[in-house]
Structure 1
């Protein structure tokens, strides 16, 4: 049985045990309701405690039931029965009390929690809203503003904050939770009036402006997502309607979201992220390499950002640079980044010093000899990478993992410059490396299973979302990005304006378009003023000192606040190249721009799957959502392809085939999916 009951001096204790997170599946709901019914009819029972065994209280609904026929009792029925009971009900909270778990707790009359408990309603992150009364009961308990923050953002709060808000009645020691909850329940037995969340009115009044103010304050975060607005509507209903009508409104909004494409995409990504951590052909019992100390070569922006990941995880880092000045500059930037985080209240000054205390700067590569993992973050040239790895071969201890942070280069060729290619792996961090979640783990031809499994385990320790990629130019993300950039360049030569190309992608949901991204990164990446030949638009722009935001001009003209505006000079440069290329100039509609940017990416993603560069289509999507700003509510390029239909993507590519970049070929996998009506994402 996943739910058991026992009586202790008149208190009925209902305990769920449904590992790993006590999800509120059918059996659990049934068991809790059975316990509440027993308490209602048993005259010996004077109070009830709802608790959980294991590492957490209920951490949410059973997500595997989504999309399946509902089974009674529903969670709202269970919660309504808890709240309606005429005997005090105490929820004993520990671990992560999330989603449906918090809604159960809100149905109880009192809530006790341990100091480490986290409480939250994260449904919005799955494109949903709390569907079992959370949007109606939470505002009545904590007030409208606090409820908006918890429901619309979906981030959990600590027990201490929950107590201050009135969500938790008392915080008790971890070891005493169950007994203290029983004693608390017994002390409330016989109470004439029970504090039922749904009947409270003392905190529910709100000026209507609070909702508009909240929307304005969070506009950037909420852009494009449907669920946050539905959450706001539901909370507003709590201020305007009696509980029963508010619950109906909540259910109506919930079902609309559940049936929508955004929630389907976000639920897909939830499972995709978990699948990405599995390496199909590496046994689960593969021995891991113990990593106690990390070495990083290169103290520039990337090297410093990589270092911060390990320092923040409590791992000592030796940071090596050739000369003292760039080393000092790199260390200074690391400290500045940490202090900026502390200034925002996201870490304490003590934590800053603790992280910095784990950092050892050096100008001597020999200081890496005792490191278990060494990552190079030097200039993206094969000759330099091979030289570094050749030197590492004679310095690094036996068994050390040697990793390259290359974005494009052949990891097998780099590994061949050592006598231990089995120890070499690609760890492609994304800039800024201390912030971006994605890590591409690039598996070389001879990379050992232990090195691969250890890299995946380390990614979790440094809080990255990792995806395994095979060796090819650009791996998964940059290989697809290159195809999109080539099409963007073609489009502007045919008559589309750079700002129109960018606008179409921003309206689709990406944070920026290809030309905005180029200006941000710098047009002079890889540009050599000594060898420049005016052969590309980018070269000409660099020659004119239009090298991006840093020089105040690139594809756009920038003001002092780095706000970009269309540039007449760029239009003139593009027109000159278009004339020389003999391309027909024409007006290009937004739909064609979108198709020509996205469909070739999907085609390339299909090739990546054909070649075994990615293990699964969902891995491709995880890369693009976490590394390139693909809107999560669209699920990723391959999920988007499935929504469009492979046949439609193929037809679109054939429509534009004559204009696509030189060397374009259709993926055989895409053609097969189109013929069979199949899906990439299962």
Structure 2
């Protein structure tokens, strides 16, 4: 079909920001004084917006690109050009399909047509009659990377960041050729990493260098002269002076070894997705199905199946929920925090002090040094602890260097920025001091009292407390207005959320500086009221409390730990309990029990496990299966009112609806959207549920418990 056959679909989207296809004829350079091999058509994709706004692919964009490529095919047939290349505006190839457009497709037929349009347009790159190239100069996600996969050859810039196929994270499948083309280009195991493991692991992406190493691109060039180098390389390909080797590629028909590797990759993908999502999200399972069956399919058969899968997934509640979570929460509300003061009030941060040199403190030091690029000084009670903290930072920088994620110069600069001292006098010229000491109010108050005697009157004091009262912490300070909660989540480098806690006396300039600092650290900040455990830990402890209470009441461990699997949470409650650590969980639970009473129960069984030195409920057998040792069960006292999985799921849903209703009534955050955002970014709440409050609306918990939903009825589909 011709791209023009899809104009009826394109006309449904008059408001689309079109990414135009600009064609420039280039005389390719000849090698070693030889004449040019001929005219090369270079197509540049550009939406005409500023450099911060990525280009996307909507129906109108695809129709225009298809029309341009068809014209180049005609030129090639006339002998006017020797090759065609596609590249993007600075910093971007394409950021993928326009989700705002896709979510408007109201029926499966329109979705299938959208998928077919992409397939038809991109397939033209393989049918030009001359070699086709894509020069990946910047971000290339989803359909952006699939443009490249459909070409004959690819180059990539070392400066290109964020390459990947995030569709399964977004509730879709790579629907424009990725499922068929990628495993054949880089091998099925590598394709599983790109299509499933990376998206479902905090939506990880590849650097340009990593994409080259996997075999996605055939050549890697530096950004300064990337286009010139790519064109020169294309000339060598066209003349035959350079040949491309693809050691990871799978030839067809598949050999016995390749067939076995394909089956192993599919099995690994199924195990990974089951562990990550409990198979509660439809998109990853559909991608695996396409990969598994695609082993024996032709390209046409696979593309047709991708069309159907994409058309059907676009109509699911899970996709609509994911788009709401990603676009409305993460992309919009996350970038415009509710309640944040005027950014103009923020003060510069030119030096950071970190009280403590343990693991959390050292992670802070590394993050501040890398992102703010300002001096950071760690302090602790003796030189050995200080040296260990600084050594941790240096070792992590060396790991980044070894992986090629930073240059040698950047590594040396980062190391030089982080120093240590046994004296807090080193904070005298700091603008921002954050504590990372033991979670005990008296300890933190003593630390801030000592620091306040040293720092300037303008220096901001920040606490990383996860549950203690910031107001109480500030009570005895000479300048309580300077203290702010700055709660990170572990691991610090990975988790994107920062809960910024405003105590009653925290002033606007301090708060504005906290938000500006969070942005500079590339974190998403949410303003929360000073209330016990803030947002994420309060919700998680309520959830874990219900499950552990059911266990105490006599529910067997397997039933209790797996009852919430329909939610598709990133880990089970008992796994989370072991990861947090039983003593930490008990300490926070006791603090919350003091604040909230019977809603947060203190388990006598948890105390017994701690006293016995247990690390958790489960232990692993040699074959990897989990079991509860009999000696653990013998330690504990159980009731005689066990719950079924279904009953415990409803009980937990109702408890969460109650707790969130109370949080909103108390004004802990500005609205339910902020709780959704906190849980997605701070607890890994599944995107396909669209946020915790729409989920509780859908399952009826908010209506059962609060007598009303958190959102208007129009939100029911998300």
What TM-score do the two structures reach when normalised by structure 1? 0.80
Instruction: Spell out the pairing of 1:399-414 with structure 2 (5 A cutoff).
Output: 399-414=458-473
Aligned partner of 1:34 among 62, 67, 73? 67
349-358 or 83-92, which deviates more:
349-358
User: What's the counterpart of residue 211 of structure 1?
Assistant: 262
User: What's the counterpart of residue 432 of structure 2?
Assistant: 373
Q: Does 1:65 align with 2:101?
A: yes
How far apart, CA to CA, are the structure 1 residues paired with 2:442 and 2:207? 51
Residues paired across the two proteins, number? 641
Tell me which of the two structures has the higher relative contact order, counting C-alpha pairs closer than 8 angstroms and 6 or more residues apart: 2
Secondary structure of 1:618's partner?
helix
User: What's the counterpart of residue 22 of structure 2?
Assistant: 4
How far apart, CA to CA, are the structure 2 residues paired with 1:335 and 1:153? 29
Change (3 A) 1:355 1:613: same
Aligned residues of 1:48 and 1:185 also touching (Cα < 8 A): no
Query: What's the CA shift for 1:78?
Result: 1.5
Query: What's the CA shift for 1:404?
Result: 0.9
User: What's the counterpart of residue 15 of structure 2?
Assistant: none
How far apart, CA to CA, are the structure 2 residues paired with 1:137 and 1:176? 29
Aligned residues of 1:638 and 1:680 also touching (Cα < 8 A): no
Query: What's the CA shift for 1:130?
Result: 1.1
How far apart, CA to CA, are the structure 1 residues paired with 2:487 and 2:268? 34
Q: Does 1:303 align with 2:361?
A: yes
User: What's the counterpart of residue 660 of structure 1?
Assistant: none
Q: Does 1:227 align with 2:283?
A: yes
Query: What's the CA shift for 1:386?
Result: 2.8
How far apart, CA to CA, are the structure 2 residues paired with 1:108 and 1:499? 50
Aligned residues of 2:605 and 2:637 also touching (Cα < 8 A): no
Q: Does 1:240 align with 2:296?
A: yes
Secondary structure of 1:16's partner?
strand
User: What's the counterpart of residue 51 of structure 1?
Assistant: 87
Change (3 A) 1:148 1:502: closer
Instruction: Spell out the pairing of 1:567-586 with structure 2 (5 A cutoff).
Output: 567=630, 573-575=636-638, 585-586=640-641
Secondary structure of 1:90's partner?
strand
User: What's the counterpart of residue 708 of structure 2?
Assistant: 672
Change (3 A) 1:57 1:204: farther
How far apart, CA to CA, are the structure 2 residues paired with 1:650 and 1:571? 41
Change (3 A) 1:267 1:432: same
Aligned partner of 2:46 among 17, 40, 44? 17
Query: What's the CA shift for 1:672?
Result: 3.1
How far apart, CA to CA, are the structure 2 residues paired with 1:333 and 1:96? 31
Change (3 A) 1:79 1:369: same
Aligned residues of 1:91 and 1:181 also touching (Cα < 8 A): no
Change (3 A) 1:557 1:539: farther
Instruction: Spell out the pairing of 1:129-278 with structure 2 (5 A cutoff).
Output: 129-154=173-198, 155-163=204-212, 167-179=216-228, 202=251, 205=254, 207-217=258-268, 219-220=271-272, 223=275, 224=277, 225=279, 226-271=282-327, 272-274=329-331, 275-278=333-336
How far apart, CA to CA, are the structure 1 residues paired with 2:681 and 2:645? 26
How far apart, CA to CA, are the structure 2 residues paired with 1:499 and 1:179? 60
Q: Does 1:650 align with 2:696?
A: no
Instruction: Spell out the pairing of 1:98-497 with structure 2 (5 A cutoff).
Output: 98-118=141-161, 119-154=163-198, 155-163=204-212, 167-179=216-228, 202=251, 205=254, 207-217=258-268, 219-220=271-272, 223=275, 224=277, 225=279, 226-271=282-327, 272-274=329-331, 275-282=333-340, 285-313=343-371, 314-324=373-383, 326-327=385-386, 330=389, 356-488=415-547, 490-492=549-551, 494-497=553-556
Aligned residues of 2:84 and 2:130 also touching (Cα < 8 A): yes
User: What's the counterpart of residue 600 of structure 1?
Assistant: 655
Secondary structure of 1:587's partner?
coil
Query: What's the CA shift for 1:248?
Result: 0.8
Query: What's the CA shift for 1:428?
Result: 1.1
Change (3 A) 1:170 1:346: closer
How far apart, CA to CA, are the structure 1 residues paired with 2:587 and 2:190? 51
User: What's the counterpart of residue 666 of structure 2?
Assistant: 611
Secondary structure of 1:383's partner?
helix
How far apart, CA to CA, are the structure 2 residues paired with 1:325 and 1:74? 63
How far apart, CA to CA, are the structure 1 residues paired with 2:611 and 2:360? 19
202-211 or 419-428, which deviates more:
202-211
Per-residue CA deviation, residues 154-207 of structure 1 (Å, 9 max, x unaligned), is 45444445455554344445344445556666777899xx99x9xx98366253
How far apart, CA to CA, are the structure 2 residues paired with 1:89 and 1:212? 32
Secondary structure of 2:43's partner?
strand
Query: What's the CA shift for 1:126?
Result: 1.4
Query: What's the CA shift for 1:95?
Result: 0.8
How far apart, CA to CA, are the structure 1 residues paired with 2:349 and 2:679? 29
Secondary structure of 2:94's partner?
coil
Secondary structure of 1:286's partner?
helix
Query: What's the CA shift for 1:379?
Result: 3.0
What TM-score do the two structures reach when normalised by structure 2? 0.77
Give the alignment's Cα RMSD to 1 decimal: 4.1
User: What's the counterpart of residue 547 of structure 1?
Assistant: 610
Secondary structure of 2:453's partner?
helix
Aligned residues of 2:672 and 2:710 also touching (Cα < 8 A): no
Gaps of 5+ in 2: 1-17, 28-38, 199-203, 589-597
Aligned residues of 1:440 and 1:467 also touching (Cα < 8 A): yes
Query: What's the CA shift for 1:641?
Result: 1.2
How far apart, CA to CA, are the structure 2 residues paired with 1:44 and 1:463? 50
Query: What's the CA shift for 1:152?
Result: 2.9
Aligned residues of 2:159 and 2:222 also touching (Cα < 8 A): no
Aligned residues of 1:276 and 1:466 also touching (Cα < 8 A): yes
